[in-house]
Structure 1
Amino acid sequence: MDNESGYLAISFSHKNTQIQMREKLAFNSAESTKSFLQTIKTQNTHTQEIILLSTCNRVEIYIYTLHPQNTKDFVISLLAQIKNIDLPTLETIADVYVNQGAVHHIFCVASSLDSIVVGETQIGGQLKSAYKFCFDNNFCGKNLTRLVHFAFRCAAEVRNSTQISQNAISVASVAVKEANTLFEQHGIECKIAIVVGVGEMGILTSKHLLHCGYKILLLNRNKQKAVTLANELNSEYGEMVEVRNFSELSTLINQHILLFSATSAPYPIIHQPMVELTDFKRFWFDLAVPRDIQKPNIDNIVLFGVDDLQEVVCQNLASRRKNTTKAYEIVGTYTLEFFRWLQTLGVEPLIKKIREFAKEASLKELDRAIKKGFLPQEYEDSVAKILHNAFNVFLHKPTINIKKFADKEDADPIIEAIKAVFDIDDVMLINRYKCEYDTTLN
């Protein structure tokens, strides 16, 4: 592994890690996330900046480090320790990417090429939230901001240049589609669904259910949050959402056919003793990681987990193969462009270019003055020296200031603005340094 400073990505995803292990690795609270990141920043001096992305399909750590090998070893060892996982096992399953490989991987994640459902847009919001949390808590700065900002640009290009997100489906929509198919196969006409949880997955699931004409019984430990969501959904879809008390969960799951659970609880909320035998078949969708539902031992309950939905998704991949190929080409191009852009951010080439502009303008005007007869030819060398000294004096203070700007966290937009003013190539204006405000993936 190259040990020069640069980008590092450590990935545990649906591609390499079983759901049981992802459950153990998941970070389900701001406190646990902050504690983990703070330990890395304080105990591993090579780690400069860090972002943790924890979703139902992946736990990934993005780092700007002075020593990738050392940082990788430290992070995986710390994960094994705090999550009580065998270290050799964790080292075996981890996918590790460095510099160009890390950038390419993160661009694929942002562009939804690494998702269970290729083309879904939910990952964009998840990445923004992870970045914002880490930026606001001083875990990341200029280097990872550059990377995430460019990742958003890459994702927007993938979306705009391909049809990969046309009729894009999230895990939530795949679950609802599967439920619809099952209802049709079994001739079920009563379209009522229990939805537990009002987080992002719960909201997406509810919207897909309402779009398909389902009535929803909505439950959440914090009832007021459920009421707020129900009011929003009812104003848009009509009075189709009814809020029920969380204490009614054990009763409702034995009265209705369809259940979707997507809470952030660190342990199952539906246990074996809660489940009663019924004379009708039930379909339960556990969209949470860690899982919300303890596998029932009753034959007439069909339980789907996040990984089970991948089988449904695979049926749609053939038609998307052409678009996926094009999308990977875009990611490859953006990866190369990102590193080229990084090279343009050095202030020395910028200062040199501005001085070249000043010199060219001076000599051009001197040549014109001699040709027009405004200045004798024999004065050319002397006047050239005077002009050279003049633009040196003029550029002295701006040069000092540009070098000072380069050491600041918000250097990029300042340097890019200067490049734009002087019409220097390779300009990529960053309108806002905090790129979580970028809306291209909404």
Structure 2
Amino acid sequence: MSYQVVSFNHKNCEQIAREKLAFATDDEKRVMLLKLTGFDFIEEAYIVSTCNRVEIVVATKDSFSSYHAILGLLSLRSGLSFYELKGMDGRYDDGKAILHIFSVVSSLESIVIGESQITGQVKDAYRFSFQNRTAGRQLNRVISYAVKCAAEVRNVTNISKHPISIPSVAVTQAHKLYGDNISGMTAVIIGAGEMGLIAAKNLLRLDCDVLLLGRDRDKVKKIAKELGSNVRSDTMENLHKYLNRYRLLFSATSAKETIIKPSMVESDNLDRVWFDMAIPRDIDKMGLEKLQLFRIDDLKAISKENYALKEEQATRAVDIVEKYKAEFYKWLRALSIEPVIKDMRLQVKDAINKELNRAIDKRFVPLEYRDNMQKMAEQMFNRFLHDATQNLRQCSSESNSTKRVDAIKELFEITTNDRKVKKYKREHHVKGYQK
């Protein structure tokens, strides 16, 4: 079994292509996951689809076949050709896949290094797949180690001391443009999802008033109430009115088509600053002279200045990720040896029972001595096997251990079935991701 990641992200794939690849709804993800795991060679899969990346992560028996299956299915649903996708994707196999996943969850691959959203997004992606029975133990192990790695990155470095997400970069840019005059302004936020809420909270810290728009009147009203008295709410039906009243706007919906079009603007006399944080984009090409429009890829360019400030900490973080990758594979190898050791001990116990029964039947040993004799024999064999099992565990931690472990299995005629192996070091991979 191998791990594989096929990634389309802000580094290798333009926004327009990411829009076509994005999964807008849970139903779209579910259909794709079921198709992927319908192949005999793909055991598990999950999908990460955010404004900055679309990634498919699989546990596979055949990396060549799974890669071509992934690109083929993505081509069918996106309208992009197989060769177009092949020219812009990032493919990671085995160790490189683990390194990539750990780096993504630790926010080293984000547009803004150190932002905290991605950790939760990947955990949610795995949880969704688990609930739909398209992901299980194999990927659970990876996610659990990745989350531990991300926690150490945050604790050891200052990379997330002041976490910055796309919405907070947008708000910071608005603050730069308006200066202290932003205090008291009304900002329109379209979309009551996570990105909209982050933008709202950052704007409130700058003493802005917030107008929150959404499709569900009750939901938006409830969220506005929770955010405080400086937040009002309304439905999307009145979007046209607010576009022509207020100059500052942030949009982050899951709409499949643009929701703001040139025909909705009555006059170009108002200086406007708009931020389109959605994938696919919410705001159409406007052609307004007095409009400053920032899209996600624009925010990417703005955030580059943060890279220089975090470069040293990012280098330290990469070292941590490398360490966790090595520990993960060491743990996997240790996991594979436990069934072998268990089977060896079961064989010893079976041999003791057979020989004791034979000795009692032939009256070499009185029946009343059986328990004591069995205990003594087991202690002797445990003592005999102690050094051997310790050496096996030590051997399993080495990168070239596979042949030696296979030789032991052949020598003792041990056949292990991975699906029946009990979880080893349970604390590593049951931290709530299977709820």
TM-score range normalised by the length of the shorter chain: 0.7 to 0.9
% identical equivalent positions: 35
Amino acid aligned to 2:223: L
Q: Distance in 1 between matches of 2:6 and 2:417?
A: 32
Equivalent residue, structure 1, for 2:297:
307
**Cα separation, partners in 2 of 1:113 and 1:293, compared to 1, 3 Å:** same
Equivalent residue, structure 2, for 1:226:
220
* 2:61 corresponds to 1:66: yes
Following TM superposition, by how much is the alpha carbon of 1:431 offset from its aligned partner in structure 2, in angstroms? 7.0
Equivalent residue, structure 2, for 1:430:
428
* 2:120 corresponds to 1:130: no
How big is each residue's C-alpha offset from its partner over 1:106-128, in whole Å with a ceiling of 9 and x where there is no partner?
00000000000000001011111
Equivalent residue, structure 1, for 2:21:
25
**Cα separation, partners in 2 of 1:389 and 1:163, compared to 1, 3 Å:** closer
Please show how residues 93-104 of structure 1 align to structure 2 within 5 Å.
Answer: 93-104=88-99
TM-score where L is the length of structure 2 = 0.82
Q: 2:207 aligns with which of 203, 213, 216?
A: 213
Q: Report the count of equivalent residues.
A: 380
Equivalent residue, structure 2, for 1:272:
262
**Cα separation, partners in 2 of 1:386 and 1:299, compared to 1, 3 Å:** closer
Following TM superposition, by how much is the alpha carbon of 1:348 offset from its aligned partner in structure 2, in angstroms? 3.1
Please show how residues 293-332 of structure 1 align to structure 2 within 5 Å.
Answer: 293-332=283-322
Please show how residues 115-264 of structure 1 align to structure 2 within 5 Å.
Answer: 115-184=110-179, 190-234=184-228, 239-264=229-254
How big is each residue's C-alpha offset from its partner over 1:64-107, in whole Å with a ceiling of 9 and x where there is no partner?
00000110001101100111112111111110000000000000
SS of aligned partner of 1:53? strand
Q: Distance in 2 between matches of 1:212 and 1:223?
A: 26
Following TM superposition, by how much is the alpha carbon of 1:244 offset from its aligned partner in structure 2, in angstroms? 1.7
TM-score where L is the length of structure 1 = 0.81
Q: 1:90 aligns with which of 55, 64, 85?
A: 85
Following TM superposition, by how much is the alpha carbon of 1:407 offset from its aligned partner in structure 2, in angstroms? 2.9
Q: 1:345 aligns with which of 335, 339, 357?
A: 335
* 2:7 corresponds to 1:11: yes
Equivalent residue, structure 2, for 1:80:
75
**Cα separation, partners in 2 of 1:181 and 1:433, compared to 1, 3 Å:** closer
Q: Distance in 1 between matches of 2:333 and 2:255?
A: 45
Q: Which runs of 5+ in 2 are unaligned?
A: 350-371, 383-414
Q: Which runs of 5+ in 1 are unaligned?
A: 359-382, 394-402, 418-428, 438-442
Q: 2:376 aligns with which of 372, 380, 387?
A: 387
CA contact (8 A) 1:267 1:292 kept: yes
Following TM superposition, by how much is the alpha carbon of 1:217 offset from its aligned partner in structure 2, in angstroms? 0.7
- Aligned-pair Cα RMSD in Å: 2.6
How big is each residue's C-alpha offset from its partner over 1:14-72, in whole Å with a ceiling of 9 and x where there is no partner?
00000000000000101111011111222x21000001000000000000000001100
Q: 2:273 aligns with which of 254, 277, 283?
A: 283
Following TM superposition, by how much is the alpha carbon of 1:430 offset from its aligned partner in structure 2, in angstroms? 3.4
Following TM superposition, by how much is the alpha carbon of 1:351 offset from its aligned partner in structure 2, in angstroms? 2.6
